[in-house]
Amino acid sequence: MQVQVAQNAGFCAGVRRAVKIAEETVAEGGKWCSLGPLVHNDAVINYFKEKGVDVADSLEQIEQGCCGIIIRSHGVSAELIDQAQKMGLLVKDATCPLVKRVHNIVALLRDEGYEIVIFGDADHPEVQGIIGWCGGKAAVVAGVDEVYDLQASKKIGLVSQTTKNENDFLEVARVLIAKTEELRFFNTICSASRKRLEVARDLCLHVDLMLVIGDKKSSNTAALARECLHTGVRTFQIQDVSEIENDWFDGVTKIGITAGASTPDWIIKEVLDRMLEYEEKNNQEKDQKMDQGESFMKMEAEMADFTSPFRGDIIKGTVIQVLDDEVMVDVGGKSEGIIPLRELSVKEVNSAKEIAKVGDEVEVLVLKWDDDGGILLSKKRVDYQRTLAEMEEVFKEGREIEGTVVNSIKGGLLVDIGVIAFLPASHVDDGYVRNLDEYVGKKLRFKIIELNRNKKRGSQVVLSRKEVISKEKTRLKEEFWQGVEIGQVRRGRVKRIVDYGAFIDLGGYEGLLHVSEISHERVEHPSDVLTEGEELDVYVLDIDREKERVSLSRKKLLKSPWEIVLGKYREGDIIEGKVVRIAPFGAFVEIEPGVDGLVHISQLADYRVEKPEDEVEIGQLIKAKIINIDAEKKRIGLSLKEAENEIASNEVEEYLSKQEQEEDR
């Protein structure tokens, strides 16, 4: 078993600097406190506790007699430092210089009138400190999904927590552009963090298992573990050597080790020593077993006068028995071979009887001999290698292949193409995919972009849909421009919504449905009416073939408010409406959304009215009689006094009618 430790594992320069400042402070003597944990590692915190450095979560918790405070590497607000000094405390500032740079950037952005957005974890102390340097006014987003919920702003400044993933940060910046007229963003992610992730990713490609060492509270350690998992290699995050379990390493030949920025060297060394002890013991046991096994097999072969198949051989056999959990195969020797259910098929099956029957001829791989002389076989691995060979031809020739998405995992999708291949999230579509689960169960076409038959862990085949989609879109786009004409009605799907409208996928091309063309009524925001993924009919309003732009309208296909009113109301009708505007000459009443009628001041009451507001107020519901409709000029005249008189007259008639009916009884 080989063990390889990643470069850049352990303390980063900022943490090393903070630890050095703390050690120098301790050497000065006296009682000290770190304001919050110095770094996110309990072992380091306990180390300094033994040297007399307590941890206080706030200035109020600092006890009498304390010389001063040590500002941790994550930093704090300027106000807090000023408050500590006013309390007579000495301040040893161990803030990471890179975090200090973020403080300076947000302070400058705030002074220049930018709304500040921080990409990071809202509860992380580094982020809390950054917020303190921009007057406590900042929006914190943990990912792209939260950017969509932000309010649009004229000027936005974007920074990042120094330990975040750079690709995620750039995706946040890309989406944020649509929220503002001016975006200034600063890539404040620590280069050491980026390098640590890159080295860990590279190491994952050459090992069977990764150990990521770091405290459970460490953000950058968690990011490291996630990055390793995304490569497909088995990964375990541990705090120290006590969390290691020996059965993790069964069948493992190469182990990689990396560590978070707050993990001290001594913890890494303890883990490495444990691995070396395990490797030495494992090698001794393996050599002993192999010597005994090979000697036994050679002796049995000589006695039986036939050549036994050895581990790794591919042989043919005939199925002689099928059970739910295994298949027995005659391989032509003194012993039968057994194919366990897990080694029968590359696809997941509940019973061997689903795919095997007595008499089937099978090609199998010899895995090992058991103590009773039986042979453990695998059909799955032969099928897998054969399918891989076919996929290699497909890959070399650049052909497309069809497969079914079987599962959604972190970082992408698993696809059955005869073997289980990996489809990264960034290659699922030609744009950002918010919900990968929507693709599970779908049969799609792919291109193979990576095939490595020697890869021990993770998927040996990596797929992409981007190129397939791009090729299909090019074809559909050509068809679209050949057939599109002004005045056509086309079926489309809402692809994405922006402040000024919605982009509609017309099957090969996206046209713009401007917010003013969504409805006859005023639309505050397109998302109030439309939802992404919704299908709708649109009218082709205008075409600019030179610039490849298509303007669309939805309201052209809807009845106008005036059409609705003319079909619904007649002169003499009494309607109920809301007073929406008052003018010196009368009051405007909303009859239907988008259509107002005028109650002239002379029609407000039976007596002289000096000012309309003496009789009605905005927002008031009133009943009015339609006294004239001018369809050509789109005007409707209303009368409040005639409505009141008619209603009163009707009430009197109804009352007299009821009286007559009672008298007749």
Cα–Cα distance, 439 to 404 (Å, whole number):
9
- Do residues 487 and 539 lie in contact, with contact meaning Cβ atoms separated by under 8 Å? yes
Which is it for the CA torsion 255, 261, 262, 266, positive or negative? positive
**Which residues, 6+ apart, have CB-to-CB distance to 484 below 8 Å?**
490, 506, 509, 540, 543, 550
In three-state form (DSSP H/G/I as H, E/B as E, the rest C), the secondary structure along 452-521 is CCCCCCCCCEEEECHHHHHHHHHHHHHHHHHHCCCCCEEEEEEEEEECCEEEEECCCCEEEEEHHHCCCC
Question: If you count DSSP H runs as helices and E runs as strands, how many of each does the chain have, helices first?
Answer: 14, 32
CB-based contacts of 325, cutoff 8 Å, min separation 6: 340, 341, 351, 352
CA separation for the pair 646, 633 (Å, rounded): 27
205 closest CA partner among 463, 459, 464: 459
What tokens were used for 110? 């705030």
Q: What is the DSSP letter of 114?
A: P
Buried residues in 362-382 as b, exposed as e (16+ CB within 10 A): bebbbbebeeeeebbbbbbeb
271-301 b/e (C-beta count within 10 Å ≥ 16 → b): bbebbeebeeebeeeeeeeeeeeeeebeebe
Q: State the Cα–Cα distance between residues 521 and 561, nearest whole angstrom.
A: 8
At 440 the three-state DSSP class reads coil
**Rounded-to-integer distance, Cα 463 and Cα 344, Å:** 25
**Reduced 3-state DSSP string for 244-276:** CCHHHHCCCCEEEEEECCCCCHHHHHHHHHHHH
Write the single-letter amino acid at 170: L
Q: How far is CA 84 from the centre of its chain?
A: 40
How far, in Å, CA of 15 to CA of 9, rounded? 12
Residue 477 phi/psi, 5° resolution? -65, -45
- 202: helix, coil or strand? helix
354 catalytic? Reply is: no
Distance from C-alpha of 18 to C-alpha of 40, rounded to nearest angstrom: 12
How remote is the C-alpha of 440 from its chain's centroid? 16
What are 459's two structure tokens? 């998927």
130: Cβ–Cβ under 8 A, 6 or more apart, which residues? Answer: 75, 99, 102, 103, 106, 118, 120, 138, 159, 161
Q: How far is CA 80 from CA 34, 279, 436, in A?
A: 13, 51, 44
75 φ/ψ sector (left φ>0, alpha ψ -120 to 50, else beta): left
Identify the H or E element spanning 581.
Answer: strand 574-583
Within 13 Å of residue 70, how many CA atoms lie on the same side as its CB? 30
Alpha carbon distance 419, 401 (integer Å): 12
Residue tagged active-site, from 115, 126, 510, 615: 126
Catalytic residues: 126
